[in-house]
Amino acid sequence: MFSLVYRSVAMPEFTLDQIQEMLIKAQENNRTLRITGCLLYHQGEFIQYLEGNQYRVLTLFDKIKADPRHKNVELLSYEEREDRVFSSWDMAYENFYGENAQITHLKLLVEEYLDENIVHADNHPAGAAFWNTVGTLLAARPSV
């Protein structure tokens, strides 16, 4: 199992409706490729965690880097791991607007990760990069 984490900046003209359309296509494609993960969007920035077969994940990442709907694509981390973190999510998505079950679940996962940060950081650098960045986004998120 291979995983990677990246962040990028959405182009200003990339609307929330267009992001939703992109997500539907990504979920279908990822299901076919057996890639799972999580895509987060907050104040014009994306952070995405992808996991699956290394060749397929890296091929998808090459396509993502070439996508003109965002810029400043930055690979934060990657790793080989034993199992999936998002095994039941073709591609979870959260735009950090309002409370819902998925954001509550992410908050719990982040809190659990941050409580055990020392254990995870050495063993899973991609996970560490993802959860630390998500924790930063959640901490900066205004209360609704």
Q: Provide the pLDDT for residue 143.
A: 46
Q: Give bridge partners of residue 3 from the DSSP assignment.
A: 51, 79
The mean pLDDT of 43-57, rounded to a whole number, is 89
Residue 50, pLDDT > 60, answer: yes
pTM: 0.69
Instruction: Work out whether strand 92-94 and strand 36-42 pair parallel, antiparallel, or are unpaired.
Output: parallel
Mean pLDDT, the chain, whole residue set:
75
The mean pLDDT of 15-29, rounded to a whole number, is 85
DSSP 46: E
The first and second tokens of residue 72, run together, are 């400043």
- Residue ranges with strand state E in the chain: 2-10, 36-42, 45-52, 70-80, 92-94
Q: Provide the pLDDT for residue 108.
A: 54
85-137 pLDDT, tens digit each = 777 665 555 555 555 555 555 555 555 544 554 444 445 656 666 666 665 55
Q: Provide the pLDDT for residue 20.
A: 82
Q: Are 5 and 47 in contact (CB under 8 A)?
A: yes
Q: Provide the pLDDT for residue 40.
A: 79
When pLDDT is cut at 50, 70 and 90, the band that residue 70 belongs to is: very high
The mean pLDDT of 53-79, rounded to a whole number, is 94
The residue among 84 and 136 whose pLDDT is bigger is 84
